[in-house]
């Protein structure tokens, strides 16, 4: 450095202490003062916890479900990954703009000005012939209003469903004119075309990434009523072409039945020493990539279609097939032309808005998940995929197979020898890949998404397994462009149940019991063990929030071996210990053994619980007439002595022996076997369901003689005096809950919790203070209750660590 270039950086360094010296120094606290402040802060926070616990206790006595779950939110803070601070976006508006761009790319949308959008809507109205039977009537509209679910978040108008349900007759008369005009002029109000999107975080992924969220459309309730009127005719069209195991949108769908079908097929193959494979298909943004023209039959020019396919990133060698599907798909060819024209008007000029931004986003594809007919429309498109795959497999000389479908989740089971399985998986996966891309659908080949569960058995199984899984996770290359590697795994989570290659329930039981423990542990200290609240009320909360997670779909496994039975019993013991306080002994806290513990919490033994779950599962599949599942179970019973039906036969014998000493009051009902049980369910569904309910009460362990009986005065009241619902803000009473909610919304500005989190963008309707406070978050609806006050959740966690509560 030259001599005249000025002082160096090291020479200027001593000037820094002059800045820090000007700051005021912190006062020095003595150890006694620190202990006093810490003790006072802890006492205040502990008193706050006790106040929240008292609110929980009071809500159980008054049977106020809203106040109950509001009090439970304090003890159930959300996961840290939801609230972790990231540097991707710094403001709420920037986060919402990031979500808007991501959702716009999914639905081939773009921002539009209000003036330009209004000019599009003022175009010439379509016309066409119709029959009077196709027009809406008062009876259908009133029925749709009465069947609507209450408590859902409204659309941009801000009017909740309870307002329409409070006076269904008057609401039907008011909406009839609007619906008749929509059908006769084939146009819908702009308010019906606009939706408010709510971002829901997925199970896995970073909260800072926009692709970790899925959008749900919040429509105006009156728009949902109009679209629900079209659902019966769409279901009729789907029933004509639906696959035997296509469920999720049709009435009588049971998700556990599909998993049970796969498990029965897999067990039958293992029993006969055959190899099997199940291809699980997962689509990327399935509902958002649906081409509307293939449903409605509306014509679209080539230039606009090419722009849409470019936005959807459809490969170039699939453009001709996708264009043919969009222009000549005819997915509703058997329906009336008027229904297709009404659907075309429903999905014409759609747009969405998000909280925190005034930008209008014009969308061109997708079925708008959250609408009343979105699942049916996508199922119609998925039928074409399954038909093409079946035709391709038939041309390859492969036997026809059933494909269980739940909404957009498709599975394809394959059975053969160890040498045939890799080739069969490659051919089937390739057919699925081509059939999806020809309809602008994109399979997701990420880990845990589109994979093949492969299990080898019989001659040559060891060599084939070593060849495929020699390096751990196996892969099979698919002959497609660009190149794709299909992952082959030994376990896969299908509709919430962990399936393994050897059909063992150990990992699934570990997973579900672990989920239940994670929920119950948060509520154990101050909620589930609060002795001032009756055991029945605490047990109900425990069953709804925790035990239901452990019991979901475990009945499909059938009989458990000694190791799995011990795991099942130990898991229930740990769950039931969350309801009782430990006894102080010489060696520390201790709990009673399993049988006295079940008697104390008024619950059956774990093995009895498993029997009741299997019997109730058989009742459910018989009531829903799942004939394909029953045939698969019979095939499994013919192939194996330890089948699911054989285990159920033992459960039925146990149920018959339960009434030998104390027969039920409604009369004795005995069953000769599983077939007799199914026949009884078909002819007397209510009696069988009541019999299982009485069997659960009869097999529930009774408390000891020292336990004091429950005081009838302490029983929670379901309704106030006179069976009327009273308003808390005034002295008025109402005959039903819908009228009460409508009164509170209109007179006292009390909205549902979801309504408080949907501020208005297109309309300047009045909003409550709670609604304004709740507009700072678009996280998941499951975590949004705790997200209203994340600072409080962090303080609560620090308090638990400070006072030593685990």
Residue 151 lies in a domain: no
Write out the DSSP string of 666-715. Answer: T-----SSHHHHHHHHHH-HHHHHHHHHHHHHHHSPPPPTTSPPPPGGGS
Question: At 792, is the pLDDT very low, low, confident or very high (cuts 50, 70, 90)?
Answer: low
Which range has the worst mean pLDDT, 86-90, 299-303, 800-804?
800-804
Q: What does the block give as tokens for 293? A: 């023209």
pTM confidence score: 0.78
Q: How confident is the model at residue 29 (pLDDT cuts 50, 70, 90)?
A: low
Mean pLDDT: which of 537-546, 739-748, 755-764 is highest? 537-546
**Whole-number Cα distances in Å, 416 to 458, 488, 489, 721:** 10, 16, 18, 67
Does residue 171 belong to any structural domain of this protein? no
Per-residue pLDDT band for 159 (boundaries 50, 70, 90) equals: confident
Distance CA 114, CA 751 (A): 29
Exposed / middle / buried, residue 627 (Cβ in 10 Å: 0-12, 13-18, 19+): exposed
**pLDDT one-digit tens code per residue, 658-692:** 887 666 665 678 899 999 999 999 999 999 999 99
In 10 A of CB 697, how many CB atoms?
9
pLDDT number for residue 77? 61
pLDDT at 118: 86
* Interval 323-331 mean pLDDT: 84
Last residue of a domain, one of 701, 724, 754: 701
The DSSP letter of residue 283 is B
Long-range own/partner contacts, residues 529-532 (CB < 8 A, 24 or more apart) = 529/578, 529/579, 529/580, 529/581, 530/53, 530/56, 530/57, 531/581, 532/57
What pLDDT sits at residue 805?
42
Q: Would you say residue 778 lies in a domain?
A: yes
N- to C-terminal Cα separation, the chain: 62
The number of folded domains in the chain is 2
Question: Is position 619 within any domain?
Answer: yes
Distance CA(216)–CA(68), nearest Å, equals 27
Q: Which structure tokens are listed for 760?
A: 């208005």
Domain stops at, among 701, 724, 750: 701
Q: Using CA atoms, how far apart are residues 687 and 685, in angstroms rounded to an integer?
A: 6
Cα–chain-centroid distance for residue 456?
33
pLDDT tens digit string along 440-482? 999 999 998 999 999 999 899 999 999 998 877 789 999 998 8
Which of 10-14, 219-223, 276-280 is the most confident on average?
276-280
Q: What is the mean pLDDT of the chain?
A: 81
Would 505 be classed as within a structural domain?
no
Give the percent of the chain with pLDDT over 70.
Answer: 81
Banded pLDDT at 87 (limits 50, 70, 90)? very low
* Digit-coded pLDDT (tens) for 127-137: 778 888 889 99
Stretch (H or E) spanning 769? helix 769-773
DSSP state of 791: H
- 3 state DSSP class of 22: coil
CA angle 450, 451, 457 (to 5 degrees): 155
Percentage, residues of the chain above pLDDT 90:
37
> In this predicted structure, what is the pLDDT of residue 70?
77
User: Which tokens go with 436?
Assistant: 């999806």
Tell me the β-bridge partners of 492: 499
Domain, as residue range, for 696: 604-701
Q: Do residues 603 and 700 make contact, with C-beta atoms less than 8 angstroms apart?
A: yes
On the question of pLDDT at 419 being above 80, the answer is: yes
**Rounded mean pLDDT, 484-506:** 93
CB 498 within 8 A of CB 508: yes
Q: What is the pLDDT of residue 198?
A: 87
Across 330-343, average pLDDT: 88
Report if residue 206 sits inside a domain: no
Assess whether 696 and 774 both reside in one domain.
no
Q: Which residue has the tokens 């209003």?
A: 145
Domain-located, residue 163: no
Q: Choose the weakest-confidence range: 20-24, 472-476, 530-534, 682-686.
A: 20-24
- Under 8 Å between Cβ of 298 and 444: no
> How far out from the chain centre does Cα 584 lie?
42
In a domain, 628, yes or no: yes
More confident residue, 148 or 6: 148
Q: Of 679, 701, 723, which marks where a domain is finished?
A: 701
pLDDT in tens, 241-280: 888 888 888 877 888 999 999 999 999 999 999 999 999 9
Q: What integer pLDDT is reported at residue 172 of this predicted model?
A: 93
From residue 795, give the alpha-carbon distance in Å to each of 85, 789, 791, 800.
16, 10, 6, 9
Predicted confidence (pLDDT) at residue 781 exceeds the cutoff of 50 = no
Cα separation, 565 vs 576, in Å, equals 16
DSSP letter string over 506-540?
Answer: HHHHHHHHHHHHHHHHHHIIIIIT-TTS-HHHHHH
Task: Kindly report the three-state secondary structure assignment for every residue of 354-388.
Answer: CCCCCCEEEECCCCCECECCHHHHHHHHHHHHHHH
Encode 203-257 in three state secondary structure: CCCCCCCHHHEEEEEECCHHHHHHHHCCHHHHHHHHHHHCCCCEECCCCCCCHHH
């Amino acid at each position: 450095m030259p001599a005249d270039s000025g002082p160096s950086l090291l020479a200027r360094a001593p000037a820094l202490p002059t800045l820090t010296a000007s700051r005021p120094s912190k006062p020095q606290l003595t150890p006694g003062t620190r202990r006093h402040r810490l003790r006072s802060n802890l006492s205040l926070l502990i008193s706050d916890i006790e106040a929240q616990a008292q609110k929980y206790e009071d809500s159980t006595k008054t049977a106020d479900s809203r106040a109950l779950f509001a009090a439970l939110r304090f003890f159930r803070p959300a996961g840290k990954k939801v609230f972790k601070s990231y540097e991707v976006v710094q403001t709420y508006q920037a986060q919402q703009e990031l979500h808007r761009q991501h959702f716009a790319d999914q639905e081939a949308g773009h921002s539009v000005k209000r003036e330009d959008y209004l000019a599009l809507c003022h175009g010439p109205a379509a016309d066409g012939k119709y029959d009077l039977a196709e027009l809406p009537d008062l009876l259908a509209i009133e029925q749709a209003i009465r069947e609507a679910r209450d408590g859902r978040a409204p659309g941009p108008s801000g009017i909740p469903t309870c307002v329409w349900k409070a006076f269904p007759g008057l609401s039907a008369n008011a909406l009839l004119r609007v619906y008749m005009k929509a059908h006769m002029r084939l146009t819908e109000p702009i308010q019906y075309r606009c939706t408010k999107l709510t971002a829901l975080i997925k199970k896995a992924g970073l909260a800072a990434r926009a692709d970790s969220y899925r959008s749900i459309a919040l429509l105006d309730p009156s728009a949902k009523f109009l679209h629900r009127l079209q659902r019966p005719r769409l279901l009729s069209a789907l029933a004509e072409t639906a696959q035997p195991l296509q469920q999720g949108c049709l009435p009588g769908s049971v998700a556990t039945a599909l998993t049970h079908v796969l498990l029965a097929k897999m067990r039958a193959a293992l029993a006969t020493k055959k190899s099997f494979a199940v291809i699980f298909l997962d689509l990327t943004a399935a509902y958002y990539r649906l081409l509307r023209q293939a449903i409605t039959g509306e014509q679209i020019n080539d230039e606009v279609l090419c722009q849409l396919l470019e936005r959807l990133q459809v490969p170039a060698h699939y453009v001709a097939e996708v264009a043919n599907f969009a222009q000549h798909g005819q997915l509703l060819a058997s329906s009336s032309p008027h229904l297709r024209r009404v659907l075309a008007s429903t999905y014409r000029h759609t747009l969405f808005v998000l909280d925190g931004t005034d930008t209008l986003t014009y969308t061109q594809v997708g079925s708008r998940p959250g609408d009343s007919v979105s699942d049916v429309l996508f199922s119609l498109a998925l039928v074409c995929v399954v038909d093409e795959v079946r035709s391709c497999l038939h041309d390859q000389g492969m036997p026809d197979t059933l494909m269980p479908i739940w909404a957009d989740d498709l599975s394809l089971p394959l059975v053969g020898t160890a040498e045939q399985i890799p080739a069969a998986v490659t051919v089937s996966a390739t057919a699925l890949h081509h059939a999806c891309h020809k309809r602008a659908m994109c399979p997701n080949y990420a880990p845990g998404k589109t994979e093949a569960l492969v299990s080898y058995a019989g001659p040559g199984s060891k060599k084939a397994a070593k060849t495929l899984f020699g390096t751990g996770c196996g892969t099979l290359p698919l002959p497609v462009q660009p190149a794709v590697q299909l992952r082959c795994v030994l376990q896969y989570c299908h509709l919430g149940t962990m399936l393994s290659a050897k059909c063992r329930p150990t990992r699934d039981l570990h997973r579900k019991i672990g989920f239940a423990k994670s929920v119950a542990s948060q509520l154990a200290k101050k909620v589930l063990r609060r002795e001032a609240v009756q055991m029945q009320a605490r047990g109900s909360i425990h069953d709804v929030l925790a035990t239901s997670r452990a019991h979901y779909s475990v009945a499909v496994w059938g009989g458990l071996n000694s190791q799995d039975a011990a795991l099942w019993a130990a898991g229930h013991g740990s769950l039931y210990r969350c309801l009782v306080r430990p006894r102080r002994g010489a060696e520390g806290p201790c709990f009673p053994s399993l049988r006295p513990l079940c008697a104390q919490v008024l619950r059956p033994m774990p093995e009895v619980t498993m029997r009741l779950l299997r019997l109730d599962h058989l009742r459910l599949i018989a009531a829903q007439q799942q004939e394909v599942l029953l045939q698969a179970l019979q095939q499994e019973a013919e192939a194996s002595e330890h089948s699911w039906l054989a285990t159920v036969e033992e459960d039925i014998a146990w149920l018959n022996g339960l009434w030998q000493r104390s027969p039920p009051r409604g009369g004795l009902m005995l069953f000769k076997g599983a077939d007799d049980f199914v026949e009884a369910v078909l002819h007397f569904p209510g009696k069988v369901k009541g019999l299982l309910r009485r069997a659960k009460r009869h097999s529930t362990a009774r408390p000891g003689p020292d336990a004091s009986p429950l005081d009838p005065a302490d029983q929670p009241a379901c309704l106030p005096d006179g069976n009327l619902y009273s308003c808390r803000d005034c002295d008025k009473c109402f005959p039903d809950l819908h009228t009460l909610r409508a009164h509170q919304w209109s007179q006292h500005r009390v909205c549902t919790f979801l309504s408080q989190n949907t501020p208005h963008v297109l309309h300047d309707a009045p909003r409550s203070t709670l609604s304004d406070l709740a507009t700072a978050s678009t996280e998941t609806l499951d975590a949004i209750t705790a997200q209203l006050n994340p600072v409080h959740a962090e303080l609560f966690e620090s308090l638990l660590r400070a006072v030593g509560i685990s």
